[in-house]
A and B are shown apart, each in its own frame.
Chain A
Amino acid sequence: MSDAHRHVKGLLAHKRRLVGTFLAVFIGVAFLSGTLVLGDTMRGNFDTLFTEANAGTDVVVRHASQLSTDPGEPDSQRGLVDASAVDRVRNVDGVAAAAPSVEGFGQLVGKNGDKLGGNGPPTLAGNWIENRDLNPYRLVDGRAPRADGEVVINRGAANDGNLRVGDTTTVQAPEPIPVKVVGIATFGSSDGLGRVTFTAFTLESAQQHLLHRTDQVGSISVKAQPGVSQDELVERVQRVLPDGDEAITGAKLTNENTSDINKEFLDLFTTFLTVFAGVALLVAAFSIYNTFSIIVAQRTRESALLRAIGAGRSQILASVVFEALLVGLVASAVGLLGGVGIAGLLKVLFDAVGFSLPAGGLVFNASVVVISMIVGVVVTLLAGVAPAVKASRVAPLAAIRDVSVERTTASPRRAITGVALTAIGVGVVLTAVLSGGDSVLALAGLGALLTIVGVLVFGPVVARPASGVIGAPLRWLRGVAGSLARQNAMRNPRRTSGTAAALMVGVGVVTLFTIFAASLKSAIDDSVSKSFTGDLVISTGTFGGGGISPQLAGDVAQLPEVRDATGLGRGRALVGTGTENVTIADPARLGGVLNLDVTDGSVRSLSSQQLAVSERIADDKGWKRGTTVPVTFSDGATTEFTVGAIYKARDIAGNYILPRAAWTPHAVQDIDSTVLIRLKNGVALETGRHAVERTASAYGAPDVEDRGQYADSVGQFVNMMLGIVYVLLALAILIALMGIANTLSLSVYERTRELGLLRAIGETRRQVRSMIRWESVIIAVFGTVGGLGVGVFLGWALVEAASQGTGDMIAPSFTAPVGQLAVLLVVGAAAGVLAGLRPAHRAAKLPVLRAVAAE
């Protein structure tokens, strides 16, 4: 019989104990390949979409200045191009056609009154381009718009909003515009550019509604005559353009679009998913390591005699390597297939939480196969062979002698190393967090890694006393079965801690996110209660996917019930040296609804040549009241501003406040994202709300929220993020649970004789089950408590590190949600019960006699 043949036979003989390993590798690899496939798919879809969008366009003329790279932000557009340029470009030699293009924010309202789209992809409005080469949209029903108020909409939006040709509805740009749908269009052959909604007016209407001027256009799309290359044409067109305008090739535009979406969204998105795939794989690695440790220990004993009479240890190693390799290969291959399913499920998950990803077939690159297979096999091999190498160092006779008790104890060296690593890790984290500085996150991350490694090394040292403490109540609660369970959990601290480690990592990450989310939400609640002094808020929802007409704030302010109302707009501008998010507001009114905690100067008296900045930014940049700061707007104009006020409360207003009077002349579309309202004294909240809602109904009925609802809606993205994170981590926890179940099954197998003895002298099946179940619970609780500890500490560190950043995000303030953490602990313990079910069942079913008689 060949070696390989023998190995395979051995494998099949022990297939049961390999099921857990197989599943761990399978899930880990499936998750990894799933995220890779999803990432590739989305990259591919966006790529196709942008290529298609620009397919017939050889050259694009546009304003040269660029402040923002975010294609989803309508108010961060470039400046405009003079309409007169269109004719000049048309006359350039080699130009077959040139069409002016206008694009801006415009959200369609569906038949039932709900706004369509948003939630990530932009809601766009523009002009219908008659030239088929320059327009990626194709009419499939109706006709092109001919008059003001006539629009063509994309089929996806039409379906979502139940709109047909001939229907009338509203487009908010952000002023409500009554429109009549005269045509339905597809984007190429699909329903739309991903999930982007598109409403096309006539050129004049688009200019009027989106640009509020008719002498300018957004850009010019140019089609070359046959034989004229894109590069050639760019050069020729560029010559007729005024300063400040630029011509680029269609290919370059596609590249820009693609790299923009990668930078702004896909890279972050795929990194985010990959992190969780990494966690799942790490947890899987622990499970595999543990399983193989036990398998190897058992086999070492099984073959101890053989080895005593001269069999080489390489033979044992070879069979483990073979086993790990085979399991790794098969499980990774199957996992790869599972990944396709996971990719589909993830897409459904993101859709379910209201986060739209572009549709399209799955892209399955060869690189996914290579990466997944390599990672899967290498992880399995490393995790499987490491314990084999370790075990093969045990002298054969020691292995024989050690048949009954594997009472391994942790070495002092391990204790010292573990404590030292943990201490250094904690020290690094604390230093990073407490000293602050630019590299807080990087340093804290390093410290976190050291802490986790330290805790893992230290695990076996504490596993015995910890299991003793956790199991202590069982002696009273569950009698001798509980006591035996406790002893069993304590008997092999290495195994216990190895088994618990997987759960610890999973629970640790869950805790980290729970802490971070709770801290963020409490900061949001805090800021709403402290900074916001009004009663009602009109907002556009979680993603800011909509927009509010600035007129609404004015109308609301006129209401007899309202004392103060002011709109906050969000925009981007080049402030000093960097492109920043700025808040646009009426300084005179801001104080009525917002407590900015001004430390220097006055926001109220801000002139149109002044801006207000947060204290953090002022400190960071060394600005004082009176410092001159150049601000460049999206139309390319630069104005010298002076710092007129410095404020502390940046949670609602952000880091920069620009007076509306200074912003509007440079803005293409003026859009508010929030309107803050303070009612007159004595006006009941509901009365005020009704009045505001009546006024707002003319503006597409945006949500009117009271303070509590506002805090909730601001915090909604936190819940959404947490929801996704929980689902992703559930996989890791599942792998950890299978690890526990697997270890216990192997332990049960190992303790066959002991169980037989117990049964012989009078342990009932129920007691056997209870014993195994409670051992499982002790291990699970040990892992959960460890995870909670590490997670709370690292969560605290993350919160502290994040709160020191100068970003726009609301700075989280550390909150430990005791209730949620207690629930986690209970869930961990319950998971232990679950993981123990099968092993307990098997242990109880062991025939007494075979166990007793086994030699």
Chain B
Amino acid sequence: MTSTLAPPQAAVARTEHATKVYGSGETAVRAIDDVTVEFAAGRFTAIMGPSGSGKSTLMHCAAGLDSLTSGEVFVGDVALGSLSDRELTLLRRDRIGFVFQSYNLIPTLTALENITLPSALAGRKPNREWVDGVIETVGLRDRLSHRPSELSGGQQQRVAVARALATRPQIVFADEPTGNLDSRAGAEILEFMAQAVRDLAQTIVMVTHDPAAAAYADRVVFLGDGKVVGELADPTAESVINRMQQLGG
């Protein structure tokens, strides 16, 4: 597989003093509070933290699904804060891939149609060769004409990963992608994602609370109470658990 390898340290997406406040006055909750973080190209970053630490909010804001109260998010060199709904939508469609925890697929479409849906929405023909490679990688060749209801949970997530990769997005955001899967299926999904980073130089940001999942990443960003409270490079399950214990998690 040939692909342009970006310089390893260039940030594909970053946040600057990102703050998101829900509610106002006495009941205001700062879901993320002055978070400045970079997601380097070709890297697999995991965002970890306990429930309510703001990890999902950070991901949603970084992915253009939610807006910040203050601060800024950049995807490439585009500042998301100034974009209209339509521009945001097109940005998500063309530059970002998504894998959610559940309900990732359109039930009326086949696996293949789901995988090529972002291209179809853009009115473009998918890059056949690339898509074939992705499908091969996630091992879905014989399931392409099945509809989601005919696939197992693991297979559905594989379709979701394939869809996220199919448009060769600048960055893929995955929100607890293995949260609903048994450990074997989960491991498979994580392996595909790691492989995509390794072989295809894909940039992936994954939110998880599972140290074993985080171990597949190149780097772990720890969040607590809406702030970045630590980082870990080349994590293993043990080192992640240790760090979490240090952080009092």
- Is A683 on the interface with B (CB-CB < 8 A)? no
Q: Nearest Cβ distance between residue B157 and chain A, in whole angstroms?
A: 14
Structural contact, B123 and A405, CB atoms closer than 8 A: no
Tell me the complex Cα distance, A767–B90, Å: 12
Structural contact, B106 and A849, CB atoms closer than 8 A: no
Given the known interface contacts A405-B149, A852-B100, the answer about A761 and B117 at a Cβ–Cβ threshold of 8 Å is: yes
CB neighbours of A405 from chain B (8 A): 107-108, 147-149
Q: Nearest Cβ distance between residue B215 and chain A, in whole angstroms?
A: 26
Tell me the complex Cα distance, A20–B244, Å: 54
Given the known interface contacts A767-B121, A852-B100, the answer about A761 and B163 at a Cβ–Cβ threshold of 8 Å is: yes
User: Residue-by-residue, is B140-163 near A (CB-CB < 8 Å gives 1, otherwise 0)?
Assistant: 000000011100000000000001
Report the count of interface residues on B (CB-CB < 8 A). 30
Tell me the complex Cα distance, A761–B90, Å: 9
User: Residue-by-residue, is A485-506 near B (CB-CB < 8 Å gives 1, otherwise 0)?
Assistant: 0011011000000000000000
Structural contact, A484 and B108, CB atoms closer than 8 A: yes
Partner of B89 from the list A488, A490, A765, A853 (CB cut-off 8 Å) is A765
CB neighbours of A754 from chain B (8 A): 103, 106-107
User: Residue-by-residue, is A748-773 near B (CB-CB < 8 Å gives 1, otherwise 0)?
Assistant: 00000110011111111111000000
Tell me the complex Cα distance, A848–B67, Å: 11
CB neighbours of A759 from chain B (8 A): 89
Given the known interface contacts A405-B107, A407-B149, A490-B108, the answer about A761 and B121 at a Cβ–Cβ threshold of 8 Å is: yes
CB neighbours of A112 from chain B (8 A): none
CB neighbours of B107 from chain A (8 A): 404-405, 407, 491, 754
- Is A437 on the interface with B (CB-CB < 8 A)? no
CB neighbours of B108 from chain A (8 A): 405, 484, 487-488, 490-491
Q: Nearest Cβ distance between residue A760 and chain B, in whole angstroms?
A: 6
Given the known interface contacts A479-B120, A479-B123, A760-B98, the answer about A487 and B60 at a Cβ–Cβ threshold of 8 Å is: no
Structural contact, B103 and A762, CB atoms closer than 8 A: no
- Is B92 on the interface with A (CB-CB < 8 A)? yes
Residues facing A in B72-112 (CB within 8 A) are 85-86, 89-90, 92-94, 98, 100, 103-109
- Is B10 on the interface with A (CB-CB < 8 A)? no
Given the known interface contacts A407-B149, A848-B65, the answer about A762 and B93 at a Cβ–Cβ threshold of 8 Å is: yes
Q: Nearest Cβ distance between residue B19 and chain A, in whole angstroms?
A: 17
Q: Nearest Cβ distance between residue A486 and chain B, in whole angstroms?
A: 9
The majority secondary structure among interface residues of chain A is helix
Partner of A852 from the list B65, B85, B149 (CB cut-off 8 Å) is B65
Tell me the complex Cα distance, A758–B98, Å: 11
Residues facing A in B162-206 (CB within 8 A) are 163
Tell me the complex Cα distance, A317–B60, Å: 40
Q: Nearest Cβ distance between residue B45 and chain A, in whole angstroms?
A: 20
Q: Nearest Cβ distance between residue A756 and chain B, in whole angstroms?
A: 9
- Is B118 on the interface with A (CB-CB < 8 A)? yes
Structural contact, A757 and B103, CB atoms closer than 8 A: yes
Q: Which A residue sits closest to B122, measured CB to CB?
A: A762
- Is B218 on the interface with A (CB-CB < 8 A)? no
- Is A472 on the interface with B (CB-CB < 8 A)? no
Tell me the complex Cα distance, A766–B84, Å: 13
Tell me the complex Cα distance, A376–B94, Å: 53
CB neighbours of A490 from chain B (8 A): 108
Tell me the complex Cα distance, A757–B66, Å: 14
CB neighbours of A484 from chain B (8 A): 106, 108-109
Q: Nearest Cβ distance between residue B239 and chain A, in whole angstroms?
A: 30
- Is A816 on the interface with B (CB-CB < 8 A)? no
Tell me the complex Cα distance, A764–B85, Å: 8
CB neighbours of A849 from chain B (8 A): 60, 65-66
Tell me the complex Cα distance, A763–B121, Å: 6
Partner of B118 from the list A483, A762, A766, A848 (CB cut-off 8 Å) is A762
- Is A480 on the interface with B (CB-CB < 8 A)? yes
User: Residue-by-residue, is A357-373 near B (CB-CB < 8 Å gives 1, otherwise 0)?
Assistant: 00000000000000000
Q: Nearest Cβ distance between residue A484 and chain B, in whole angstroms?
A: 7
Residues facing A in B118-136 (CB within 8 A) are 118, 120-123
Q: Nearest Cβ distance between residue B59 and chain A, in whole angstroms?
A: 11
CB neighbours of A767 from chain B (8 A): 121
Structural contact, B65 and A760, CB atoms closer than 8 A: yes
CB neighbours of A761 from chain B (8 A): 92-93, 98, 117-118, 121, 163
Structural contact, A404 and B148, CB atoms closer than 8 A: yes
Q: Nearest Cβ distance between residue A778 and chain B, in whole angstroms?
A: 13
Given the known interface contacts A407-B149, A479-B120, A480-B121, the answer about A762 and B89 at a Cβ–Cβ threshold of 8 Å is: yes
Partner of B109 from the list A487, A760, A763, A848 (CB cut-off 8 Å) is A487
Q: Which B residue sits closest to A766, measured CB to CB?
A: B86
Q: Give the one of A488, A761, A764, A853 with max B CB within 10 A.
A: A761
Structural contact, B65 and A757, CB atoms closer than 8 A: no
Q: Which B residue sits closest to A768, measured CB to CB?
A: B89
CB neighbours of B148 from chain A (8 A): 404-405
Partner of A753 from the list B93, B103, B118 (CB cut-off 8 Å) is B103
User: Residue-by-residue, is A73-93 near B (CB-CB < 8 Å gives 1, otherwise 0)?
Assistant: 000000000000000000000
Structural contact, A758 and B106, CB atoms closer than 8 A: yes
Q: Nearest Cβ distance between residue B170 and chain A, in whole angstroms?
A: 13
Structural contact, A762 and B65, CB atoms closer than 8 A: no
Q: Nearest Cβ distance between residue B80 and chain A, in whole angstroms?
A: 13
Q: Nearest Cβ distance between residue B100 and chain A, in whole angstroms?
A: 6
Q: Which A residue sits closest to B173, measured CB to CB?
A: A760
Structural contact, A765 and B121, CB atoms closer than 8 A: no
Q: Nearest Cβ distance between residue A614 and chain B, in whole angstroms?
A: 62
CB neighbours of B105 from chain A (8 A): 757
Tell me the complex Cα distance, A479–B121, Å: 8
Tell me the complex Cα distance, A407–B149, Å: 10
Q: Which B residue sits closest to A851, measured CB to CB?
A: B103
CB neighbours of A483 from chain B (8 A): 120
Q: Nearest Cβ distance between residue A849 and chain B, in whole angstroms?
A: 5
Tell me the complex Cα distance, A766–B109, Å: 20
Tell me the complex Cα distance, A627–B131, Å: 91
Tell me the complex Cα distance, A761–B118, Å: 6
Structural contact, A404 and B93, CB atoms closer than 8 A: no
User: Residue-by-residue, is A837-855 near B (CB-CB < 8 Å gives 1, otherwise 0)?
Assistant: 0000000000011001100
Q: Which B residue sits closest to A404, measured CB to CB?
A: B107
CB neighbours of A407 from chain B (8 A): 107, 149
CB neighbours of B94 from chain A (8 A): 762
Q: Which A residue sits closest to B116, measured CB to CB?
A: A480
Residues facing B in A667-721 (CB within 8 A) are none
Tell me the complex Cα distance, A754–B107, Å: 8
CB neighbours of A757 from chain B (8 A): 100, 103-106
8 intermolecular pairs with C-beta atoms under 8 Å apart: A404-B103, A407-B107, A479-B123, A480-B117, A754-B103, A758-B121, A849-B60, A853-B56
Among all A-B residue pairs, the 5 with the closest Cβ atoms: A762-B93, A487-B108, A480-B120, A405-B107, A764-B89
Other A-B pairs beyond A766-B86, A849-B66, 16, CB < 8 Å: A404-B148, A404-B149, A405-B148, A407-B149, A479-B123, A487-B109, A758-B117, A761-B93, A761-B117, A762-B121, A763-B121, A764-B89, A765-B86, A765-B89, A767-B121, A853-B56
